[in-house]
Amino acid sequence: MLLHKFPTDHHYPFLQNCPQNSTDVFYQLPPSTSTASFYSEGPPRFGTFDFGSIMIKEESSPNSDGPRRVVGRLRMPPVPPKLKLCEVCGHSGATTHYGGTVCGGCKIFFSRTVQSRKGFVCERGGQCPMNAGKRAKCRACRFQLCLKAHMSPEEVGRLRDMRLGDYAPIVKKEGTVVGYFDESSQPPTSLRDCTSQIISFIDVYNCGNDEFEVLRAFVNSERNCENSAANKYASFFPTKCNAAMSIQSAIDFPMPICEKIPRLASRSEKIYANYSPRGKPIVGDLLAIGGIFVVCGGAFAIGL
């Protein structure tokens, strides 16, 4: 998932020659970038990662025609410990399971909960303390934390489905935008990129007509958009916030969207409480409520 990758040279080309573990680095300031504007953007951030902090000063060059050399001190983020802690209960020895960094107990709990399609209700308003000793006390809160840890219910059973042959892997080709709902376009069965998941989503979850229409507009917007076209659609949907997520991210991790949309924030718990991998379509729910559209490659603008 793109949001969880470490920033690459593509995102910060001026760091191309930066040694990964050093603290003092030298790099060229991009020709079009002033030191002030560089400062004003603050430390580069990407997704949930803080790319350390960068303090720079522009060296005064005796030769004004020479390259603008910048002296910088880059403080890299602390090296994560080898033994990661479970994002749900804090237990040590966590590894990646279903998209989240969790311990074995929480992994199997999440898998069983999704497969059993059970819904839990917290009797204490969803505020139960969670640690290795208390994690089994409230399953509702534990499952909530699993989802907040970016664990993906869709991943549960995927391997088994693949063995049974009823799972068609979807290969995402970054940057491709195809109008699936456009009659002149290719039939969905031959399409393999990010938005094809919407097709399977509609098929699997039997979205209603309203949700289908929103998804249709959604995808057509994406098809018609270039990376710079957000403003064009912003006139149709007054932008209240920018979640900076792709549609793929929204499908995988809807919670951040819920948290960023005021009208949905109060509903997020309800949505997750009712979540069922083969039941009510969570993304369709979000789309139908929000009047949401996606701009390919980044901005995820929400009109309310």
Helix (H) or strand (E) holding 204: helix 196-205
Cα separation values, 226 from 214, 222, 249, 294, 303, Å: 20, 8, 18, 11, 19
Question: From the CA atom positions of the chain, what is the Rg in Å?
Answer: 22
- When binding is defined by CB under 7 A, the residue of 56, 74, 86, 103 that contacts DNA is 103
Q: What is the DSSP letter of 125?
A: T
Which one of 74, 156, 198, 292 is in contact with DNA (CB under 7 A)?
A: 156
The CA-atom distances, in angstroms, between 212 and each of 37, 86, 283, 296 are 43, 37, 11, 19
Residue 131 touching DNA (CB under 7 A): no
Position 108: which residue type?
I
What is the Cα–Cα distance from 115 to 38, expressed in whole angstroms? 49
Q: Which of 158, 263, 270, 280 binds DNA (CB under 7 A)?
A: 158
Closest to DNA by CB, 66 or 169: 169
Q: Does 51 bind DNA (CB under 7 A)?
A: no
Kindly state whether residue 84 participates in binding DNA, applying the rule CB under 7 A: no
Phi, psi of 44 (to 5 degrees): -60, 135
Three-state secondary structure readout of 154-173:
HHCCHHHHHHHCCCCCCCCC
Q: Residue 230 CB, nearest distance to DNA (Å)?
A: 30
Nearest alpha-carbon partner for 282 in 223, 207, 194: 207
Amino acid at 42: G
Which of 1, 55, 108, 204 forms a contact with DNA (CB under 7 A)?
108
Does 157 participate in binding DNA (rule CB under 7 A)?
yes
Options 97-105, 203-211, 283-291, 296-304: segment touching DNA (CB under 7 A): 97-105
Strand 239-242, strand 300-303: pairing: antiparallel
Taking CB under 7 A as the binding criterion, the range among 101-109, 192-200, 205-213, 241-249 that sits at the site for DNA is 101-109
- Residue 20 beta carbon to DNA: minimum distance, rounded to whole angstroms: 15
Task: Select from 136, 168, 204, 265 the one that contacts DNA (CB under 7 A).
Answer: 136
x/- map, 159-178, DNA, by CB under 7 A: xx-xx-----x---------
150 binds DNA (CB under 7 A): no
Which part of the chain contacts DNA (CB under 7 A), choosing from 32-40, 111-119, 211-219, 229-237? 111-119
By CB under 7 A, name the one of 16, 61, 96, 206 that touches DNA: 96
Asked whether the beta carbons of 88 and 132 are under 8 A apart, the reply is no
As measured in angstroms, the least distance from the Cβ of 215 to DNA is 26
Site string for DNA, 243-282 (x = CB under 7 A): ----------------------------------------
- Tell me the closest approach of the beta carbon of residue 78 to DNA, in angstroms: 19
Q: Is 45 in the site for DNA (CB under 7 A)?
A: no
Nearer Cβ to DNA (89/243): 89
Tell me the three state secondary structure of residue 193.
Answer: coil
* Listed residue (97, 88, 100) closest to 131, CA to CA: 88
- Whether residue 193 contacts residue 172, with contact meaning beta carbons closer than 8 Å, is answered with yes
Indicate whether 10 belongs to the interface with DNA (CB under 7 A): no
For 246-272, the DSSP string reads: -HHHHHH-HHHHHHHSHHHHTTHHHHH
| Residues at the site binding DNA, with contacts judged by CB under 7 A | 95-99, 103-109, 111-113, 135-137, 139, 155-160, 162-163, 169
